[in-house]
Structure 1
Amino acid sequence: METDQLISIDIFCRHYKVEYSFVQSLREVGLIDTVLVQETQYLQIPQLQNLERMIRLHDDLDVNLEGIEVVQHLLKRVEYMQDEIISLKNRLRLYESNE
């Protein structure tokens, strides 16, 4: 993995004023992935938007870790269904254009 797509968890926690243990808890339950490079844990930059959402759920709405898991699962299902709707609409257009 290219290091320009990584940010140290320590730097992330300082910037966002988040406890290191919270980020580790998210990693332990599988909500985020980290990369170990020379004994330092890093986050992948593409997952920062998702991580920011989890922080807002936790801090602003006081949602616990289990609640964050549920929200993430539901958001993934909604995204999957939206993709499926787009696919079905495209297929429907194909059939409608052949009439």
Structure 2
Amino acid sequence: MNERISIEEIIRLYKIDYSFLDQLIDSELLHPETENSVRYIIYEELPHLERFANWHYDLEVNLPGIEIIHKLLNQMEELRNENRKLLQNVTRFETWEEADL
């Protein structure tokens, strides 16, 4: 089982509004688990929650803005990964061509 923290504990520790956390869950930016009617967030999602809370409270970004920024950052990461793979393929091809000379 994944390590997790209850939503009530998150609200207490991070000092965020329950409604904000609920909006993140409703928009599927966070994916809670429920056990015995207690909702939990897995530890792996905490960096996302911290980032969303910083954008919202420190930069005053609203939920639609958070969704857009998150989507664009994910797309950038996917493009970086694709670029890395393409560069590895080019390097392999160049090495293969040099071996044939």
Task: Give your verdict on TM over 0.5.
Answer: yes
Structure 1 outlier segments of 4+, above 2 Å: none
Question: Is the aligned partner of 1:10 residue 2:8?
Answer: yes
1:83 equivalent among 81, 84, 95 = 81
Give the whole-Å Cα distance in 1 for the aligned partners of 2:44 and 2:58.
23
1:56 equivalent among 51, 54, 57 = 54
Q: TM-score, length-normalised on structure 2?
A: 0.93
- Please give the secondary structure, in 2, of the residue aligned with 1:98: helix
Structure with higher Rg: it is 2
Give the whole-Å Cα distance in 1 for the aligned partners of 2:19 and 2:9.
14
Q: What is the CA deviation profile of residues 42-65 of structure 1, one whole-angstrom value per residue up to 9, with x for unaligned ones? A: 001101001100000001100000
Structure 2 counterpart of 1:5, one-letter code: E
- Please give the secondary structure, in 1, of the residue aligned with 2:12: helix
Long gaps (5+) in structure 2: none
Structure 2 counterpart of 1:36, one-letter code: T
Long gaps (5+) in structure 1: none
Question: Is the aligned partner of 1:73 residue 2:92?
Answer: no
Number of residue-to-residue matches in the alignment: 97
Give the whole-Å Cα distance in 1 for the aligned partners of 2:7 and 2:18.
7
Q: TM-score, length-normalised on structure 1?
A: 0.95
Give the whole-Å Cα distance in 1 for the aligned partners of 2:72 and 2:53.
17
Give the whole-Å Cα distance in 2 for the aligned partners of 1:52 and 1:94.
39
Q: CA deviation at 1:20?
A: 1.2
- Please give the secondary structure, in 2, of the residue aligned with 1:79: helix
